[in-house]
Amino acid sequence: MKLTKLQIEALAESIVKEFEEKRGLEKNQLLEKQLEDFKPTFNKSQEIFKKYPEVQSVNISYIDRKIEIYRESKLLGFKNSWELKDIIKDKMKPRLTLGEVERAIILSTIDTKSVDEIIDKVKNKFK
């Protein structure tokens, strides 16, 4: 099947957009799980603050990262922290580029007869 350059670009953009939406959902799920895993560690720091009023911050090692927790820190504040985002970044699939998807589309057109087949082949390649 032959596609024009414009059709290839449009198809690639729609596939990348769909994968980015899925990646965003995956990122949110991983972040929620990581926050839940971090909760016991955070609670221990709060116990230290209650027991020792003169302590203003605690440095902890958490999954090969150093994290500083302050007396006024809130657990939900860590949801947007770079520390937890950095931890989940290692667990996520890399982002797709338009060029990668366009090349996959071009290669898929060689032995396919419909656009639906091309889309399926490309999506399966990047799962």
Strand pairing of 57-62 and 65-70?
A: antiparallel
- What is the model's pLDDT at position 16? 95
Q: Categorize the per-residue pLDDT at 126 as very low, low, confident or very high, splitting at 50, 70 and 90.
A: confident
- What is the model's pLDDT at position 87? 81
Q: Which of 81, 84, 80 is nearest to 34 (CA)?
A: 84
DSSP three-state, residue 12: helix
Tell me the percentage of the chain whose pLDDT exceeds 70: 100
- The DSSP 8-state label assigned to residue 44 in this structure reads H
Domain ranges of the chain: 5-125
R_g over Cα of the chain: 22
The mean-pLDDT minimum among 35-44, 82-91, 115-124 falls in 82-91
Question: Is the whole-model pTM more than 0.85?
Answer: no
